[in-house]
Amino acid sequence: MATGCLRADQRSIRGGAKDSDFSTGIADCVRHRCRAGRRADLPLHLRGGREQKTGQQTLDFLADLGSHPEGFDKLRPGSEYDRRADAASGRSRADWLVGMNLSRAYSIVYREELSVGRVQTPTLAMVVDRELALRRFVSEDYIEVVATFQGRGNTNKERYQGTWFRSQTGSSKDAQANMSRLPADGEEANSILLRAHAGEAVIESLSSETQRFQSPLLYDLTELQRHANRLFGFSAQQTLDTAQALYERHKLISYPRTDSRHLSADVAATASSIVAAVSASYEKQLAAGTGERPLGRRYVDDSKVSDHHAIIPNAVSAEKVQLTGEERKIYDLICRRFLMMWHDDFLQAVTTVMTAITHEKIVDRYRTTGTVVEQMGWKVLDIGAEGRKPETKGSTEEKAPEQILPVTVARGQLQDVVDIADGRTNFGRERAIGGK
């Protein structure tokens, strides 16, 4: 919808503005209400030209609840959007050149109807590359040795398990993964078992550190699809369709087809009204000051919001809305992720025990890792938090299952090996085969 701006004589244009309106002085600018993004900038740019005074107000469902006057007071010149209009123009040309022309060309050459697209063809190439990598994947057997220790003279008979490992010889991903893997023929594993039964075991070192995990960023579409798949087994299309229904039909969430995981400052200012609308189902899990305390730059960053901000609930109560089971699950995820922003970090103490078994002059070392939760923080809102560790970037080393350690463990404490066994499993390795 385009309407003329008010001039000093308070005259306005009702309906669409025409090119002649500018030359005759009827209007001095155009207000263009539209959805955010390049596709909205292009038609205005083509109609008004670069020299005419134009402005744009970007509104979403949240802003549309009553911020029109404030938005109109903050209009910016259309020239600030020239680059986005140029990007939209380039994209439309690419759709024509790549999509329409190449689709026809390939269909003629191969004598069947083929589709080539600016987005779909590179995406298909990524899928093919991944498929070829999977075909090169070959599993190989290996053995791990796991010992069960009990403190000598421990009347409580508390035990813990440790996994044998070799000294790390490199920093590569393969070197870290192979620290505890032994050849499948069992020869080296049998030697380790014999030394464990005949040697002397002692706790060589014991260290503990507190790990801190911040609450996760808000959902973009990709992260929502991944999380819904991990929790509920939803396909990517299933999650998209459900989120689209929550947005279009029920008006309960913001625009779901977004690649941003942050909020703009304007949207963050409406957080209190959103919390008031969705908090009824989570009252016992809310942090103090939820919706009232200002959010930090981790979540509010205008520079990381392009066309659309992260997926969040709208300031509308869902209590009287009839939702399907799938819609309820996706809406619940979005509400929980939104409310996590005001929670404290999740803290856990991680204790690592190194147990050494010495036989003659050979020392075999076993690693044990145990954790104790010190502060739940945002995880009180996390579905399936029990039994699932927080995700961290750059974690490549495979670790033994974490366990609750005996409270009596101490450096220098002698241990009895009450059980030791080798377990056979397999891992994958890529090999060169026909194809890419």
Please check whether residue 59 is in contact with residue 65, taking contact to mean a CB–CB distance below 8 angstroms: no
Which distant-in-sequence residues (6+ apart) come within 8 Å of 76 by Cβ?
A: 55, 56
Q: How far apart are CA 38 and CA 78, in angstroms?
A: 13
CA angle 395, 399, 402 (to 5 degrees): 115
Amino acid at 224: L
Q: How far apart are CA 409 and CA 112, in angstroms?
A: 71
Please check whether residue 322 is in contact with residue 344, taking contact to mean a CB–CB distance below 8 angstroms: no
Q: Please name every residue paired with 372 in a beta bridge, in sequence order, or none if there are none.
A: 349
Residues annotated as catalytic are 255
Q: Extract the tokens encoding 131.
A: 């498929």
Helix (H) or strand (E) holding 3: strand 2-4
Q: How far apart are CA 27 and CA 193, in angstroms?
A: 89
**DSSP strand pairing (200-213 vs 414-430):** antiparallel
Q: How far apart are CA 82 and CA 165, in angstroms?
A: 60
